[in-house]
């Protein structure tokens, strides 16, 4: 039977994870992690459409909200359903503000959780379809509809800088399209056949930003159980867009 989606369960309750995996693995490709770093690694390496994420972990050095923020920075973030043993309204509000799709109190009703996962998968599919349509529109229009002198001037600056190997600082208020400019530069550059990756520096804790960008070797610091390839190496030959770099830690 073909799997209908990818489910990632991140929870340190082994019995709870085992029970959920048994219920959903027949129709969903199901992966399980018992701490935040392991869950993030699975999400990055294998991807996930929906993630069930516990709020609190006894080990791993990260709580559920931190993991949620990191998941949201992935190129294709999963829809995240938060789980908790108690309904703390402050945590619920924080989770929803941070981008959680829903919040459920354990022990979760399996039927209710099943319905919620189905709805999340439907919403994820709809978003993917909309993104595919937007990507096609962007491909055909070059991402910009140049209707005024300022836009033409911006396009001209992009055309001048794109063929060079110069580091480019893109400034502007949130929402004006800085990543769109970065992707247009990439599309017109000699590196267009290589990857362009985006990293939201403002959403990553100060102690993890260096590892996120440059990677690390196994055992290089406490909790580094495996080696990790940084974004710079992943984007080798292409471009790395550091979003919200002004909000990043000073060492960066």
Is the predicted pLDDT of residue 72 greater than 50, yes or no? yes
User: CA-CA distance, 18 to 213, in Å (whole number)?
Assistant: 34
Is the predicted pLDDT of residue 98 greater than 70, yes or no? yes
Q: What are phi and psi of 107, to 5 degrees?
A: -70, 130
pLDDT at 1: 47
Closest CA to 177 of 149, 204, 155, 209: 155
Contacts 24+ apart (CB under 8 A), 210-215: 210/251, 210/252, 213/240, 213/242, 213/252
DSSP letter for 193, please.
T
pLDDT in tens, 200-211: 887 777 777 888
Of 18 and 126, the structure prediction assigns the larger pLDDT to: 18
User: CA-CA distance, 211 to 206, in Å (whole number)?
Assistant: 10
pLDDT at 218: 77
Q: What is the CATH number of domain 6-131?
A: 3.40.50.2300
Write down the domain spans for the chain. 6-131, 146-247
- Domains 6-131 and 146-247 equal at CATH topology level: yes
What is the rounded average pLDDT of the residues 203-228?
Answer: 76
Grade residue 225 by pLDDT with cuts at 50, 70 and 90: low
What's the pTM value of the predicted model, to 2 decimals? 0.55
pLDDT in tens, 166-180: 999 999 887 778 888
Residues contacting residue 190 through CB under 8 Å, at least 6 positions apart? 163
pLDDT at 41: 92
Residues facing 80 on adjacent strands: 51
pLDDT at 200: 86
pLDDT at 184: 87
Taking domain 146-247, whether its CATH number is 3.40.50.300 is answered by yes
Is the predicted pLDDT of residue 52 greater than 90, yes or no? yes
Is the predicted pLDDT of residue 40 greater than 50, yes or no? yes
pLDDT in tens, 123-162: 888 877 767 766 665 554 455 555 667 777 888 898 899 9
pLDDT at 146: 54
pLDDT at 7: 94
Least confident of 1-10, 39-48, 70-79, 92-101: 1-10
Residues contacting residue 215 through CB under 8 Å, at least 6 positions apart? 227, 228, 229, 230, 232, 233
Burial (CB count within 10 angstroms: exposed 0-12, middle 13-18, buried 19+), residue 12: middle
């Amino acid at each position: 039977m073909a799997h209908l989606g990818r489910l990632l369960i991140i929870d340190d309750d082994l019995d709870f994870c085992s029970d959920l995996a048994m219920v959903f693995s027949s129709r969903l490709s199901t992966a399980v992690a018992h701490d935040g770093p392991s869950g993030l690694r699975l999400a990055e390496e294998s991807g996930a459409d929906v993630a069930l994420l516990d709020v609190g972990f006894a080990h791993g050095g990260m709580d559920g909200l931190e993991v949620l923020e990191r998941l949201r920075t992935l190129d294709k973030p999963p829809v995240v359903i938060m789980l908790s043993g108690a309904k703390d309204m402050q945590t619920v509000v924080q989770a929803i503000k941070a981008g959680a799709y829903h919040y459920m109190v354990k022990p979760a009703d399996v039927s209710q959780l099943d319905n919620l996962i189905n709805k999340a998968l439907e919403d994820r599919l709809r978003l993917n379809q909309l993104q595919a349509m937007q990507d096609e529109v962007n491909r055909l229009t070059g991402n910009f509809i140049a209707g005024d002198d300022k836009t033409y001037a911006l396009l001209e600056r992009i055309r001048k800088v794109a063929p060079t190997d110069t580091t480019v600082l893109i400034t502007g208020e949130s929402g004006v399209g800085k990543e769109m400019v970065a992707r247009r530069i990439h599309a017109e550059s000699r590196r267009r056949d290589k990857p362009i990756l985006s990293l939201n520096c403002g959403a990553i804790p100060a102690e993890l930003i260096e590892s996120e960008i440059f990677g690390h070797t196994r055992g290089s610091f406490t909790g580094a159980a495996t080696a990790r390839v940084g974004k710079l190496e992943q984007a080798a030959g292409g471009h790395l867009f550091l979003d919200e770099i002004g909000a990043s830690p000073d060492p960066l």
